[in-house]
Amino acid sequence: KTSYWKLQKNSDNQEIMQEAAALIRAGEVVSFPTETVYGLGADGLNPEAVAKIFAAKGRPNDNPLILHIAKKEDIAQLTTCLNANAKKLMEHFWPGPLTLIVNKSAIVPDAVSAGLETVAVRFPSNKFAQDFIRACGCPIAAPSANISGRPSPTNAQDVLEDMQGKIAGMLDGGNCGIGLESTVVDTTSAVPTILRPGGITYEMLTEVMGAVEIDPALQGDKNFKPKAPGMKYRHYAPKAPVYLFEGEACKCLPQVIAKALAEGKTVGVLCGHELESELAELVEKQQLQLSCWGDSREQLAADLFYLLRDFDRTCPDVILAEGVEEDGLGLAIMNRLRKAAGYQIITLENGSLHLKNN
Ligand code: TXA
Ligand code: MG
């Protein structure tokens, strides 16, 4: 049985936080909101509690967890050394959607770090998250609150869809603002390296840090092994096959959609507003589920996982997605879309459509 609490915006929610924290201290798992996605939290220093997170998600044991803290100083006990890069990143971007990889101290259980010498630490900016972590009085180990492989949940209903009955508690704090998971940066390398793009963009990082590298495995090149173990798994994938249209290929989407419909297929489309008007007529007469995002990257990021999950409720035969430019939040959006598509990417080459299938 999962206890459910609705959090109130203009309140400290003291009673609720105390009840949820009591569950954490008893070694149980409680889901909580952050500014990125919902987390599945447990006492990060208690290996048995951490094991329950892996069980609830069906998560592979070799995929380490992030420890969440509610004040900057709390990172000190979790690491043997905070170098100048790590300190600078904390100073500029904490609290916020940035996770730092640092060398781990002896108190971090192997279950959290999955046997690595490093640990991931994050100080979320969401006030409910901060109040919850503070009430617990320990670092909170938390992955995204989805069943392993599914899109991360950005609202309480999506958490319950995956976790009802499997966890002790659920703190409902409404919709997550950013909608994509935090940026993960390795601070143990000479040049800080992005292992997972997210809400803190490459541009924001280089402005503060100068040189910043991006893990080459993020481009989907199988010759490189991702440094964040979680990035190697198939992820965010709806049940239907997804094809991601990139660059000039997007212009061919209306034709491709019309052809699939003519073949009798039910089609899901994920695209921006410009295509929406072109497709309006098809939506009216045919088997087309059109999911459109607003004008900004921020809106697309905020809606992306919800829209991907939505396709599982209707289950079209095929999903066609329009890609975006990779500047700003676009890097994180395209990273998630490519994974959702299982790297089935359509490009336009010498005037004809080309399927790249890594
Ligand atoms: O926004 C977020 O980061 C959310 C919220 C709940 O805070 N959490 C989240 O956790 O996305 P999770 O477990 O779904 O993703 C953590 C990622 C994984 O790809 C994992 O492999 C990587 O961080 N990671 C964790 N510890 C690591 C380490 N020591 N070295 C490299 N990668 C690590
Ligand atoms: Mg996750």
For the Cβ of 146 lying below 6 angstroms from any atom of ligand 1, the answer is no
Q: Which of 89, 79, 150 is nearest to 119 (CA)?
A: 79
Classify 213 as helix, strand or coil.
strand
Express each pLDDT in 41-67 by its tens digit. Answer: 999 999 999 999 999 999 999 999 999
CB 236 within 8 A of CB 305: yes
From 31, 99, 116, 176, give the residue whose CB has the most ligand 1 atoms within 8 Å, as the site to mutate: 99
From 117, 184, 187, give the residue whose CB has the most ligand 1 atoms within 8 Å, as the site to mutate: 184
Task: Tell me the CA–centroid distance for residue 235 and ligand 2, in Å.
Answer: 8
* pLDDT computed for residue 207 by the predictor: 98
Rounded Cα distance, 195 and 139, in Å: 22
Rounded Cα distance, 124 and 305, in Å: 19
Mean pLDDT of the region 246-270:
93
Sheet holding 288-292, edge to edge: 288-292, 267-271, 318-322, 242-245, 344-349, 352-357
Q: What percent of the chain has pLDDT over 70?
A: 99
Residue 52: partners with Cβ closer than 8 Å, 6 or more residues away: 27, 28, 29, 42
* pLDDT computed for residue 293 by the predictor: 83
Instruction: State yes or no: pLDDT of 225 exceeds 90.
Output: no
Report CA-CA distances (Å) from 76 to 31, 104, 215, 332: 25, 10, 26, 29
Mean pLDDT of the region 140-158:
96
Express each pLDDT in 312-322 by its tens digit. Answer: 888 899 999 99
For the CA of 229, the nearest atom of ligand 1? 21
* pLDDT computed for residue 237 by the predictor: 81
Rounded Cα distance, 177 and 194, in Å: 22
Residue 196 labelled as part of a binding site: yes
Across 100-114, 192-206, 288-302, least confident range: 288-302
Cis peptide preceding 95, ω within 30 of 0: yes
Task: Tell me the CA–centroid distance for residue 290 and ligand 1, in Å.
Answer: 31
Going by pLDDT thresholds of 50, 70 and 90, the confidence category of residue 358 is: low
For the Cβ of 66 lying below 6 angstroms from any atom of ligand 1, the answer is yes
Rounded Cα distance, 179 and 267, in Å: 25
User: What is the enclosing helix (H) or strand (E) of 353?
Assistant: strand 352-357
- In this predicted complex, what is the ipTM? 0.99
Mean pLDDT of the region 15-34:
98
User: For the purposes of burial, counting CB atoms within 10 Å of the CB of 318, is it exposed (0-12), middle (13-18) or buried (19 or more)?
Assistant: middle
pTM above 0.90, yes or no: yes
Residue 191: partners with Cβ closer than 8 Å, 6 or more residues away: 211, 212, 213
Rounded Cα distance, 270 and 329, in Å: 17
Rounded Cα distance, 352 and 275, in Å: 20
Mean pLDDT of the region 325-337:
96
Amino acid at 66: I
Could you tell me where the DSSP H helices lie in 122-182? Answer: 127-136, 156-163
Going by pLDDT thresholds of 50, 70 and 90, the confidence category of residue 287 is: confident
Going by pLDDT thresholds of 50, 70 and 90, the confidence category of residue 77 is: very high
* pLDDT computed for residue 337 by the predictor: 95
Instruction: State yes or no: pLDDT of 16 exceeds 80.
Output: yes
Mean pLDDT of the region 276-292:
79
| Alpha-carbon dihedral angle through residues 260, 261, 262, 263, given to the nearest 10 degrees | 50
Task: Tell me the CA–centroid distance for residue 72 and ligand 2, in Å.
Answer: 23
Question: Token match 């066609």: residue?
Answer: 320
| Alpha-carbon dihedral angle through residues 151, 242, 276, 178, given to the nearest 10 degrees | 20
Tokens describing residue 182: 């935090």
Going by pLDDT thresholds of 50, 70 and 90, the confidence category of residue 125 is: very high
Residue 343 labelled as part of a binding site: no
For the Cβ of 50 lying below 6 angstroms from any atom of ligand 1, the answer is no
Residue nearest ligand 1's atom 33 by CA: 228
Tokens describing residue 323: 């890609």
Mean pLDDT of the region 102-120:
97
* pLDDT computed for residue 178 by the predictor: 96
From 40, 50, 66, give the residue whose CB has the most ligand 1 atoms within 8 Å, as the site to mutate: 66
Residue 63 labelled as part of a binding site: yes
As a whole number, the mean pLDDT across the chain is: 94
Rounded Cα distance, 167 and 145, in Å: 10
Between residues 273 and 232, the one the model is more confident about: 273
* CA Rg value for the chain: 21
Task: Tell me the CA–centroid distance for residue 143 and ligand 2, in Å.
Answer: 6
Question: Closest ligand to 230 CA?
Answer: 1
Residues with C-beta atoms within 5 A of ion ligand 2: 144
